[in-house]
């Protein structure tokens, strides 16, 4: 019995003698074994180096700041190379704010990708209170504009800001 490393996820794969087709239990990739595969895996770089190469060169913090402050104009999309989508967001006010909100949440969640399909590299520690303050100010602006009353906006804007801070703190504690 021999153990190999999956080229996709780096998980160990056990191989019985004479087995030619293997399936990774973690990512589901099927591997066809032969001399070529064995020589490639012996010369392969560590998986941590391969993961670093898949991240986007665009700054996570800059993308998030652009999305929060100028997202309804598609600034974060222009910054990460999505020119057509940025133009659509510019013309539709961030997809009538829904598309903009979706993008902010996907950036915070860590699932936002640049034009090449690479994930943005999130910093080890997020400034959740700074992000919460920015979301509060944006919520204050939007809710005041929708209700026409600044007092309603002041009170109601606390809810999305605190919800985001709690969600980010829980997400950080599980990572």
Give DSSP secondary structure letters for 46-64: PHHHHHHHTS-SS-HHHHH
More confident residue, 139 or 86: 86
* DSSP E strand stretches across 6-151: 12-15, 21-23, 30-32
In the block, tokens 């509060």 appear at 136
Average the pLDDT over 44-61 and give the result.
61
Per-residue pLDDT at 40 exceeds 50 = no
DSSP state of 13: E
Per-residue pLDDT at 141 exceeds 90 = no
Instruction: Give the orientation angle of helix 60-70 with respect to helix 98-109, to 10 degrees.
Output: 160
DSSP state of 120: P
Average the pLDDT over 14-26 and give the result.
72
């Amino acid at each position: 019995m021999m153990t190999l490393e999956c080229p996709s996820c780096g998980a160990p794969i056990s191989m019985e003698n004479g087995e030619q087709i293997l399936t990774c239990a973690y990512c589901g990739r099927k591997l066809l074994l032969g001399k070529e595969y064995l020589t490639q895996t012996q010369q392969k770089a560590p998986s941590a180096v391969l993961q670093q190469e898949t991240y986007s060169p665009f700054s996570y913090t800059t993308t998030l700041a652009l999305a929060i402050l100028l997202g309804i104009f598609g600034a974060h999309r222009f910054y990460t190379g999505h020119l057509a989508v940025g133009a659509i967001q510019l013309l539709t006010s961030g997809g009538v704010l829904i598309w903009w909100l979706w993008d902010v949440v996907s950036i915070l969640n860590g699932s936002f990708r640049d034009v090449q399909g690479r994930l943005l590299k999130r910093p080890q520690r997020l400034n959740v209170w700074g992000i919460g303050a920015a979301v509060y100010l944006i919520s204050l602006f939007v809710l005041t504009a929708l209700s026409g009353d600044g007092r309603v906006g002041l009170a109601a804007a606390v809810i999305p800001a605190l919800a985001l801070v709690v969600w980010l703190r829980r997400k950080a504690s599980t990572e």
